[in-house]
Amino acid sequence: MGDQAGRGQGGRVFVVGLGAVTCLGSTLEETWAGLIAGRSGLKRHESMPRDRFLQDIAGVVETFQPGPAEMIGEAAKLEVRSIHFALEAAREAWRDAGLHERQTPSRDSFDPDRVGVLVGSALGGMDLFENEVAKAAKRTTLAVSPYLIPGLIINQEAGQIARQLGVFGPGFAPANACASGGHAVALGGMMIRAGEIDLALCGASESALTPMIVNGFATMKALYAGKPGDRAESDPSQASRPFSGDRAGFVLAEGAGMIVLASETAVERMGLRPHAELLAWAVNSDGHHMAMPHGARIEACLRTALDRSGLEPEAIGHYNAHGTSTKVNDRVETQAIKAVFGSAVSNLAVASIKGALGHALGAASAIEAAVAVRSLSQGIVPPTLNYQPDPELDLDFVPHQARRIDLSAVMSASFGFGGTNNALIFGRIAS
């Protein structure tokens, strides 16, 4: 991405629409209300029996029902939850921006050829795949669903959104593990600044609560695995506890997050009302390990985003953390934050919403970016739930209760397996 992330090159980029589907609600508004109230969407699920799953605590989207009546073409036949989450969150973000699906172009509207859809996922349609494998084991023929391949292709989310909205600009599907959604936002900002598009619908969606995926994460000791007597045994909502002294692994979740970006000229021409400005972004790679984070490379990513924003560290009032609730990640991220923010870290509110939402893999960074923008516009930082102090991690983690803070800029960061890092900086719109 290089110097194209410099704010002065190609004009300003604004956030004009937000949407989300999470275990706290099927809209961003429901999710936000749950977060600032200190609610958790994590619980045990009968649909994940322990004779098939090594972990039955998860962040399941229970309230969501796909709406075939609102879909066009064959989307309703794609039995992939992540695609339906993506469509729902995209529609919410699009409408939040004041835009309309399949709009007839006019002078004051958007050009559908200059609208990009950049929506990623870490794992794509694994639910469809495992269901088809189970069905195939019982068949006497080799036939499988004709929707298997379309459902597995990760760019299907972006493709179905483009079809639903009636837009025809560039389509990309970042598959960058847990940073997929953040990378999508960065790519959208880059393309707008480069003048290639006017609008970008960016984000990610994920639903991988299948036996193979849950058990795979559990076997590699990434998932929550409390010892006998652990507090989550009686209260599963306490299983995810970012930055806590007794953190014991992340809790897998599902959901989607979407952000609509617009160029400065599109905002002015169409009369859009921005939530925030996307000031800067940075992405890099660890080049280190298949799963373990590399502190120096994470630090470099955060520092690059800060440098590109033109802001001093003191200007960032809130850092929306990756904060997975794993021993290593939370320690490495804390050290990187302290190195980048220096003395300003004493006034930095660091919080992870994974205590409430769990870890939605590729979608997590998109959901968290949308929540970070809402924090900025509302002046409220959601809490880090289930926190108990860790002497090694000595930042202000906004424990237990939401906090009102006068924010002018926020940073949201995410890091994925394979060593892929992302940081986004959003600035408040002056009134």
**Active-site residue set:** 178, 322, 359
Which helix H or strand E contains 229, and what residues bound it? none
User: CB-based burial of residue 312 (10 Å sphere; 0-12 exposed, 13-18 middle, 19+ buried)?
Assistant: exposed
Biggest distance spanned by C-alpha atoms of the chain: 67
Dump the DSSP string for 155-210: THHHHHHHHHHT--S-EE----GGGHHHHHHHHHHHHHHTTS-SEEEEEEEE---S
Answer yes or no: are the C-beta atoms of 358 and 347 closer than 8 Å: no
DSSP code, position 399: B
Q: Are 151 and 75 in contact (CB under 8 A)?
A: no
The tally of CA atoms less than 13 A away on the side-chain side of residue 155 is 7
Per-residue burial over 272-296, b = 16 or more CB atoms within 10 Å of its CB, e = otherwise: bebbbbbbbbbbbebeeeeeebbbe
Both tokens of 11, joined, read 């004009």
